[in-house]
């Protein structure tokens, strides 16, 4: 960070000394998007999770890339326009605004280079370009203001040698207040802006119970009309039965996976906290695509870095592993496939999901 500050200070001095009218590429370097708790968690074994999070503090938000562009403009009471692109030609870009002479960029893709530029007007032709790269890692935390425990299902090493796609399948906690008679969004307008216009999420799959199917208003009367840009599906799943998912949850798992296969990606999948029902779902997905047992534990227990009011331990994923290993198959991936077939899912549906989330 000290080197970054020194570099930015040098760039600022150069710009103020008469180079402000010339387009310059400012090299910012390589950044990790993990905060210190996330970094410590993923670099240790899963049984050390309690050192970094207990489910009672918000530590799931990633670290931003901080860009200081104060050397380009006189300090003014204005709102600056920001463009972020994966290409220095800015053929495609994400555009937003900032009210200060700096910008915190969140949710960069792993091992991806980015280019940023700023302007007081719609004309960016004379704007300097800020170039930086996001480091590779085993998982990609996501910042959606107003939501917690949000991450992209990507980065994990797979036994097949394939890679999980980035920006296709997201998991997290609820976007609206649970157990409410009125639909009240918890995700803020800034969070929605990020979700819709930066991440481009098209579908929300919510597995909380609802008053119609379960006589329990867990999903807070969420409907498809609340966030018009995102298609909403509710697949009720009784959270009280998730521990015995191999027997009690087959119908809900079948419906969830069928909806996932039929949905327009990117998809945001969640329950109330993104911990239990979501945890089971992504445990099955992880096992299916070839994640290691250690990483399955880690992925499940990353929830402890979020603020959901309680912690999770290794007992649940341990039980899930034991259940899957009792099934037919020579690998955990084959055993997960066997279980999903026993839920009356077709192999075509299972393959459709795998094809959607795995790189070719």
Phi and psi, residue 347, nearest 5°:
-65, -30
Which is it for strands 203-206 and 231-234: parallel, antiparallel or unpaired? parallel
Q: Is pLDDT of 48 > 90? A: no
Question: What is the rounded average pLDDT of the residues 329-358?
Answer: 97
Domain 2-31+63-134 sits in CATH at 2.60.40.10
Give the integer Cα–Cα distance in Å for 255 and 261.
Answer: 10
Q: Please give the torsion angle defined by the CA atoms of residues 27, 32, 107 and 67, in that order, rounded to the nearest 10 degrees.
A: -30
Q: Is pLDDT of 7 > 50? A: no
Q: Are the CB atoms for 198 and 109 separated by under 8 Å? A: no
More confident residue, 49 or 223: 223
Q: Output 72-81 pairs: Cβ under 8 A, ≥24 positions apart.
A: 72/15, 72/20, 72/118, 72/127, 72/128, 73/101, 73/118, 73/120, 75/101, 76/120, 78/120, 80/118, 80/119, 80/120, 81/118, 81/119, 81/120, 81/121, 81/122, 81/124
Residue 247 CB-density burial (10 A; 0-12 exposed, 13-18 middle, 19+ buried) = exposed
Right CATH number for 142-357 from 3.90.190.10, 3.90.226.10, 3.40.50.170, 3.20.20.80? 3.90.190.10
Q: Are the CB atoms for 107 and 150 separated by under 8 Å? A: no
Q: Is pLDDT of 18 > 80? A: no
Phi and psi, residue 181, nearest 5°:
-80, -15
Give the integer Cα–Cα distance in Å for 116 and 85.
Answer: 6
Q: Is pLDDT of 119 > 90? A: yes
Residue 139 CB: number of other CB atoms within 10 A?
Answer: 21
pLDDT tens per residue, range 172-216: 999 999 999 899 999 999 999 999 999 999 999 999 999 887 677
Domain coordinates of the chain in residue numbers? 2-31+63-134, 142-357
Residue 119 CB: number of other CB atoms within 10 A?
Answer: 17
């Amino acid at each position: 960070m000290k080197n970054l500050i020194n570099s930015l200070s040098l760039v600022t001095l150069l710009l103020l000394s008469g180079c402000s009218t010339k387009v310059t590429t400012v090299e910012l370097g390589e950044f990790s998007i993990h905060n210190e708790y996330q970094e410590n968690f993923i670099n240790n074994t899963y049984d050390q999770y309690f050192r970094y999070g207990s489910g009672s503090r918000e530590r799931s938000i990633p670290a931003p890339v901080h860009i200081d562009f104060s050397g380009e403009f006189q300090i003014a009471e204005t709102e600056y326009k920001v463009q972020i692109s994966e290409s220095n030609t800015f053929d495609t870009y994400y555009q937003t605004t900032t009210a200060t002479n700096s910008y915190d960029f969140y949710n960069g893709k792993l091992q991806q280079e980015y280019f940023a530029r700023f302007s007081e007007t719609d004309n960016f032709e004379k704007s300097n370009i800020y170039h930086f790269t996001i480091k590779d890692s085993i998982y990609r935390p996501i910042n959606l203001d107003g939501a917690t425990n949000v991450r992209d299902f990507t980065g994990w090493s797979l036994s097949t040698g394939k890679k999980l796609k980035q920006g296709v399948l997201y998991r997290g906690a609820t976007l609206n207040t649970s157990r409410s008679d009125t639909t009240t969004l918890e995700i803020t307008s800034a969070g929605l802006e990020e979700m819709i216009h930066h991440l481009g999420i098209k579908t929300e799959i919510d597995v909380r119970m609802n008053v119609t199917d379960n006589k329990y208003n867990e999903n807070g009367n969420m409907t498809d009309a609340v966030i018009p840009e995102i298609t909403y599906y509710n697949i009720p799943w009784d959270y009280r039965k998730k521990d015995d998912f191999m027997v009690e949850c087959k119908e809900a798992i079948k419906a969830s996976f069928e909806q996932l296969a039929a949905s327009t990606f990117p998809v945001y999948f969640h329950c109330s906290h993104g911990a239990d029902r979501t945890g089971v779902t992504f445990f099955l997905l992880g096992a299916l695509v070839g994640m290691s047992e250690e990483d399955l534990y880690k992925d499940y227990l990353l929830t402890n870095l979020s603020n959901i009011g309680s912690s999770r331990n290794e007992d649940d994923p341990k039980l899930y592993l034991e259940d899957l290993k009792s099934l037919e198959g020579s690998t955990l991936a084959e055993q997960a496939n066997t279980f999903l077939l026993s839920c009356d899912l077709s192999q075509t549906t299972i393959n459709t999901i795998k094809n959607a989330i795995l790189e070719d």
